[in-house]
Structure formats: C-alpha cells, structure tokens
Amino acid sequence: MYVAVKGGERAIDNAHAWLAEERRGDPAVSELSLAQIRVQLKLAVNRVMAEGSLFDPDLAALAIKQSRGDLIEAIFLIRAYRTTLPRHGASNPIDTAEMAVDRRVSATFKDLPGGQVLGPTFDYTHRLLDFKLAAEGGVGPVATAPATQGPVPHVTEMLNRDGLIEEAPRDDTPPPDLTRTPLELPASRPLRLQAITRGDEGFILSMAYSTQRGYGRTHAFVGELRIGAVAVEMEIPELGFAVEIGEIEVTECETVNQFKGSKTEPPQFTRGYGLVFGQSERKAIAMSLVDRALRWKELGEDFSGAPAQDEEFVLYHADNIQATGFLEHIKLPHYVDFQAELELVRRLRAETMAMREAVQ
C-alpha cells in the first residue's frame, strides 16, 4: 500500500529495535552465552558452519544467537561475512585416513582394520523425552578407552586393492571454486561436490531419499562413515614445506554402489562421496547418494529423468540462501507490476463485456 510502504526509514529503525528486544526476550531469563551455544547446540553450530562454508564455531554460535535460532538466517550471516574475507591461499587436501576418529562405522563389513567405533550417536537411543534434562540434570563421568593409534585405512581402499571398486586416482588439478567463479554447466564432480556440501540439508536429504525410492536408484551401501578431527596443512612458500595451521572436525561418507560391467569390462562397484564440516552425518550420507546419482553420465548409465540425476536441477536449487532470498522477495512491493497487470485485466474484461453486450 502506497502510504504504508513509503516513508519507511523510521519504520525500519523501529522494526530493528523491536527485533533486538524480541531476540533478547524476557530479561528475567539469563542470556545465552556463545560458549553455551557452541558447546550445547553443537550440531546446530555444525550445520551453520557446513552450509555457511566457514569452519568457525565461535562465529557460527554468534550467528545462531543473532538469528534467534533461525539456522538459515544464521547461515546467511556467515556467508555474507565469509565473502568479505581476504583469501590468503588454499590448504593441502585433508587426509581423512589420518583422522582421529570419534565415530567410524561400516555397513558393508562386520569387522575391519581400525574397528567399528560407535561414538556419540543418536542411533539406538530410544526417542523418549528425557525429563531429567528439563531439571538441568548433570552428567556423571563416562567410561573412556585409549584412542586408536595410527591411520585408519578406508574401506574403499581395501576394495580397491582387489579391483572390486572403481579407481579414484589422486588428481591434483585445482578444483573450481563455486564462490569465486559463476556456476557453469556441465559441472565437474569437484564443483558438484562443493555445491552439495554447502547445499541445504533438507534439500539434499530429500534428493537422496528420492533416489532410494526409485527416482534414480543407485543401490547404495554405506561403505564407511567416519567422524573426527583432521589436521589442515598449508604449504608456506617462504618455508618450502607444509605446516599444520589447525584442526577441523569433518564427517566423511563413502558409499559403495551398484556395480556396472559389460562383456569386456568385469563388474565393479562404484562410489559416492560425501564430506561435510562437523558432525553432520545425515548430510554426509545424503551427499554421497546425490553425488552418486549425479554421476550417471560418466558411468554410462541411463538418464531416467529423476530429479536427483539432473545436475542443473540439483545445483540450481540446493542453495538455501539463494532460495530463501528469492522466495521471500515476493513480499517486497510489486505494485508497479501489479498496477500494469490491473490495467491489462481491466481492459481485457471491458473488451470481453463489450463483445458480450454486442452479441446480445
């Protein structure tokens, strides 16, 4: 409405002040600290880091506080901050075989070198509300075991030694950077993986789920899912060698999929891959399924028309910051366009009425 929307400067200031007050809520309730969010809402922090593509638990906690727990809004804050940061260089690829694993499970082998480590998981908990938590119940000491020593080899590596799974040779070509170059299709696999790992968890989950229900089925097994800390190393040109600049927690999922083969090629399993910041295992598994579905062309499979096989569809709609912005922009004033439509409808109606009268 003309009058209501115009003269908005004061309205905006007041709205922001009100928002700040709502964010704090009842001052009688103690304020959330960033440390509380970072430690006790860690999975929310992980999601914000993953989809914000910035590994910084403190900033993610701040964004969650500022956004009142609206995680997409928090991701947006992180993205907008991240894009202004200068780029000093690129790290070496992380080596997940060297991961200090907190959790590591394989669905394909009962036991394997490095062992199955259940870790801190919701799996096998009964989803019953724990009313003790409402009473702020403390947690007693829990049992510990010595950490596993040495590298934990990947399940797919073991399959690879026997030629049972497609090769994934090391490739040191610098991957394209989604945040620095416009998305152009067809996209390479590194580019697709980048887009999916920062894509919306709900969207990627639904895409992956649709492949399981037959829309681009790939018969995936979780070959391995591992969560833990890995070192980040960077080559320092002045030094001439790589130094460790920090440690990040990641979740990695490798799926072993439906084999393919022909008269001349012996059958082999194929791979899907997922890697996400933090403990984000739903996302990592979903990512590996979507990755595998998108690989139909290079693996000589048929395009069945499934959404999860459609690179353009997946990549153009996975980003929740793009999606939410565009969706919500329709609440901005559109009265110039609407006025044009109004005039048109009025004129067309008048013409139709005149014709109807002429007929009568």
Partner 1 sequence: MTDQAYNFAYLDEQTKRMIRRAILKGVAVPGYQVPFASREMPMPYGWGTGGVQVTAACLVPEDRLKVIDQGADDTTNAVSIRKFFQRTAGVEVTEATAEATVIQTRHRIPETALSEGQILVYQVPIPEPLRFLEPRETETRKMHELEEYGLMHVKLYEDIARHGEIATSYAYPVKVEGRYVMDPSPIPKFDNPKLGGNAAIQLFGAGREQRIYAVPPYTQVVSLDFDDHPFVASKAPHDCDLCGASESYLDEVITDDQGSRMYVCSDTDFCATRQEAGHHGRLGVPQFSSKKIAKSLEGFCAAEGVTE
Partner 2 sequence: MTFHQPVQDTPLLRVTGLTKHYGARIGCADVSFDLYPGEVLGIVGESGSGKSTLLASLAGHLRPEFGRIAYDGRDVLAMSETERRRLSRTDWAYVHQNPRDGLRMGVSAGGNVGERLMAIGGRHYGDIRAKATDWLGRVEIAADRIDDRPSAFSGGMQQRLQIARNLVTAPRLVFMDEPTGGLDVSVQARLLDLLRGLVRDLGLSVIIVTHDLAVVRLLADRLMVMKSGHVVEQGLTDQVLDDPQHAYTQLLVSSVLQV
In the complex, the residues that contact partner 2 under the rule CB under 8 A are: 262-264, 300
Min dist CB 78 to partner 1, Å, is 9
**Under the rule (CB under 8 A), what is the footprint of partner 1?**
1-9, 11-12, 76, 79-80, 82-84, 86, 179-186, 312, 316, 321-322, 324-330, 332-337, 339-344, 347-348, 351
Q: Which is nearer to partner 2, 138 or 300 (CB)?
A: 300
Q: Which is nearer to partner 1, 92 or 339 (CB)?
A: 339
129 binds, among partner 1, partner 2, none (CB under 5 to 8 A by kind): none
Min dist CB 259 to partner 2, Å, is 17
Min dist CB 314 to partner 1, Å, is 13
264 binds, among partner 1, partner 2, none (CB under 5 to 8 A by kind): partner 2
Q: Which is nearer to partner 2, 263 or 356 (CB)?
A: 263
263 binds, among partner 2, partner 1, none (CB under 5 to 8 A by kind): partner 2
186 binds, among partner 2, partner 1, none (CB under 5 to 8 A by kind): partner 1
Output the six-digit token pair for 173. 């070509």
Min dist CB 189 to partner 1, Å, is 17
> Distances from the Cα of 45 to the Cαs of 5, 60, 214, in angstroms?
36, 6, 33
Min dist CB 219 to partner 2, Å, is 22
Min dist CB 80 to partner 1, Å, is 4
Q: Which is nearer to partner 2, 25 or 186 (CB)?
A: 186
Q: Which is nearer to partner 2, 182 or 300 (CB)?
A: 300
Q: Which is nearer to partner 2, 84 or 262 (CB)?
A: 262
Q: Which is nearer to partner 1, 7 or 146 (CB)?
A: 7
Say how many C-beta atoms besides its own lie within 10 A of residue 198's C-beta. Answer: 23
Min dist CB 263 to partner 2, Å, is 7
Pick from 173, 161, 151: nearest CA to 96: 151
123 binds, among partner 1, partner 2, none (CB under 5 to 8 A by kind): none
Min dist CB 177 to partner 1, Å, is 8
321 binds, among partner 2, partner 1, none (CB under 5 to 8 A by kind): partner 1
Write the secondary structure of the chain as one string of H (helix), E (strand) and C (coil): CHHHHCCHHHHHHHHHHHHHHHHHCCCCCCCCCHHHHHHHCHHHHHHHHHHHCCCCHHHHHHHHHHCCCCHHHHHHHHHHHHCCCCCCCCCCCCCHHHCEEEEEECCCCCCCCCCCECCCCCCCCCCCCCHHHHCCCCCCCCCCCCCCCCCCCCHHHHHHHCCCECCCCCCCCCCCCCCCCCCCCCCCHHHHHHHHHCCCHHHHHHHHHHHHCCCCCCCEEEEEEEEEEEEEEEEECCCCEEEEEEEEEEEEEEEEEEEECCCCCCCEEEEEEEEEECCCHHHHHHHHHHHHHHCCCCCCCCCCCCHHHCHHHHHHHCCHHHHHHHHHHHHCCCHHHHHHHHHHHHHHHHHHHHHHHHHC
9 binds, among partner 2, partner 1, none (CB under 5 to 8 A by kind): partner 1
